[in-house]
Each structure stands twice: as structure tokens, then as C-alpha cells.
Amino acid sequence: MVTLALDLAANPVELTAALVDVPSVSGNEAALAAAVEHALRSQARHLEVVRSGNAVLARTRFGRPTRVVLAGHLDTVPINNNLPVRRTGAGADLVLHGCGTVDMKAGDAVMLHLAATATEPRHDLTFVFYDCEEVEAARNGLTRIERELSDWLTGDLAVVCEPSNAVVEAGCQGTMRVTVRTNGKRAHTARGWLGVNAIHAAGEVLRRLAEYEPRQVEIDGCQYHEGLQAVCVEGGVAGNVVPDECVVTVNHRFAPDRSPEQAEAHLREVFAGYEVSVVDLAAGALPGLSHQVARDFVRAAGGQPVAKLGWTDVARFAALGLPAVNFGPGDPSLAHTREEHVPAADIRRCAEVLTQFVH
């Protein structure tokens, strides 16, 4: 295998393009991991470098009083006829298009640039480039690192460089799926009055959903917009039978000031009178912006942090006890689309903010 030579210090925009042109669909990150490892070992000699599967870990050991962990995944969703990288515009308007541009090789490039250039940072720095973020949690490289190399995930602030339009996104909402079940009594539809129609009974469940007013909560200056959405409805026995069961599956997104237990209690209240079962859940993560290092980072990013809407590995770091933020180039709503792209200006800005923050 020929290992691509990456120039980490020169230009994070060109570095992004170079990373994009090494395909790395989940499970096939070996070539990219090798290039990253080789570049770090040769161009960032102040770092301790470790390889773990298709993940590459690097850190300073300067004995600084504080440590910042930066994390980015190397894998992408499947290529969709959108490689190699394509450029439009120029200068301040340059945009890179292609698989992985926004999710999240631009963020990886910013991290690699910082790893090579921040040779005397005021915080100790840990860089985590990991594999298999785009697939099930059990395969996620961070799960393995947490199990086998947990001391690499400790520090005072975690910055996950997923796309956030180069704005600090803090914390994330929890998500819970529940089923709400109605019961009835079967009968032949020719004698429908002998039965009780469970689908008709679900009308009241849907009415409560339609009328639900989601909370909007401000925490550490971040606005969280909750949600309660039916994502599935199923009922019916046969074309001539009054159905005796109907199940509505509801997805609740809840602000991180609520624990999963509190969120569940809330749903049981909303759907009082119905059989409610929790199908799956993931806790939210408080923004944690009251910590000094986090405050410094928000100041360096020069703006008001906003709430993270989706659920990312930010929550994983929060669960480990680190204040964790999301900060990276590009628009997150373009992730996983064939048209994903990232503005060069975002890449430059993120690199500048991080450089300023660590010096």
C-alpha cells in the first residue's frame, strides 16, 4: 500500500481536499488512517502517536494544567458518485464538493493542521481520529477506545469537529422512542357494533400529538427546541375485521435539563390512559459551558453558542464527564447528502479559532 503524503502545516483547505480523495467508507478507513498516522509521526514530532485499529490517537504531554480533547471520525457514508473532490468558486468563495467534505474531513483537516502547528499550546492537546462513526454504535471506534484506551479520552473540554457552520454548538438533546398502544375488541365489520375499534381509539393519541406544544428551554445561553413526533403507526387485522390493536411509535427529543427518567415520566403524563412502552433512548448532554476552559473556547469562537440539534458523540464525552462542544466547518444539514460540500472560508475560520484558543 502506498501511503499518501499529507502536508499538515501548509493549508487546511488543500489538506481537506487531499483527505477527501482518500475514500474511507466505514470499515474501509485503513488507507486514510495510515496516511494520517504517517503524517503525524513525521510532521508532528512533539506528539505521542498511537494506532488503534483504523483509529489514530495523538497527544502532547507538556504537563499543562488543562487538557483539550479534539475528536473527528475518519469514515464517511457510502460514496454516491461524488468523488473525487470538485471545486467551485475561488478565493474567499471557494467551495469543496464531494463525499466526506462536510462530514467530516474538513473538521479532520482542521484538527491535523492544529496538531502539526500548535507545538507550544497552553493546554495539553489530545487528537482522536476514529473509525466507524457512521454505522451502529457497537462498531464505533470511540466505543473501542473508551474500553481499551480510556486515558486518551480524559481532559477538561472535548471539541468534536463535526460540521456546525463554524459556530459553537453545545450539549445535545436526548432522544427517546416509545410505543403508545390502544386496545379494542375484534368483530366482523358486517357487525362492527359488536367490536371496539382500536384504530379509532388511536385518534385521541394523534390529537394529543398534534396539539402538543414542545418546550423551548435555554441552558447556558443555548436554546433547545424539544419535539414530539409520531414516526410510525400500525394497526389492522384483515380487510373485514374490526382491529383490536393499534400502535403509535413516538420519537421525543428532550432538552438536556431532563433526565431520561424525567422525559419518560413526561410522556406517560402526555399519554395518560394509554399503554406506553419505552423502545429506546439516549440521554442528552448538558452544554457544560460554565467551565473555564469551555468559556474560553466560546470566547475564542467569538459568538453565542447554539444548541446542538442532533445527537452526536458530543453526548459520549459529556457522559464521560467532560464539557463537550461541537465546532466544525460546514452545514450539518448537508451531511449524508450526495450534494455535500464545505466552504473553504469555514475551514479557514475553524483553523483560526482553534489556533487562537490553544495559544
Kindly state the smallest distance separating residue 184's Cβ from a second copy, in Å.
10
Q: What gap in Å lies between CA 267 and CA 176, rounded to an integer? A: 10
x/- track of binding to a second copy for residues 158-197 (CB under 8 A): ---------------x-x-x----------xxxxxx-x-x
Which of 10, 137, 206, 265 is close enough to bind a second copy by CB under 8 A? 206
Kindly state the smallest distance separating residue 282's Cβ from a second copy, in Å.
11
Distance, first Cα to last Cα, the chain: 37
Kindly state the smallest distance separating residue 213's Cβ from a second copy, in Å.
11
Return the number of the residue (151 or 280) whose C-beta is nearest a second copy. Answer: 280
- Stretch near a second copy under the rule CB under 8 A, chosen from 115-123, 239-247, 259-267, 351-359: 239-247
Kindly state the smallest distance separating residue 284's Cβ from a second copy, in Å.
11
Q: What gap in Å lies between CA 203 and CA 5, rounded to an integer? A: 61
Catalytic residues: 75, 133
Which of 242, 286, 318, 358 is close enough to bind a second copy by CB under 8 A? 242
Kindly state the smallest distance separating residue 133's Cβ from a second copy, in Å.
16
Return the number of the residue (27 or 192) whose C-beta is nearest a second copy. Answer: 192
- Residue 200 sits at the vertex; the CA angle it makes with 194 and 203, to the nearest 5 degrees, is 160
Number of residues engaging a second copy in binding (CB under 8 A): 50
* Paired residues of 124 in beta bridges: 67
Kindly state the smallest distance separating residue 205's Cβ from a second copy, in Å.
8
Residue 305 in the binding site for a second copy (CB under 8 A): no
Which of 95, 217, 233, 319 is close enough to bind a second copy by CB under 8 A? 233
Which of 50, 94, 167, 199 is close enough to bind a second copy by CB under 8 A? 199
Return the number of the residue (5 or 279) whose C-beta is nearest a second copy. Answer: 279
Q: Which CA distances in Å does 245 have to 10, 189, 234?
A: 63, 15, 9
Return the number of the residue (122 or 186) whose C-beta is nearest a second copy. Answer: 186
User: Residues for the chain: how many in total?
Assistant: 359
Q: Restricting to residues 129-148, name those near a second copy by CB under 8 A.
A: none
- Residue 163 sits at the vertex; the CA angle it makes with 84 and 255, to the nearest 5 degrees, is 150
Residues forming the site for a second copy (CB under 8 A): 173, 175, 177, 188-193, 195, 197, 199-207, 209-210, 214, 225, 227-243, 246, 248-249, 251, 253, 280, 309-311
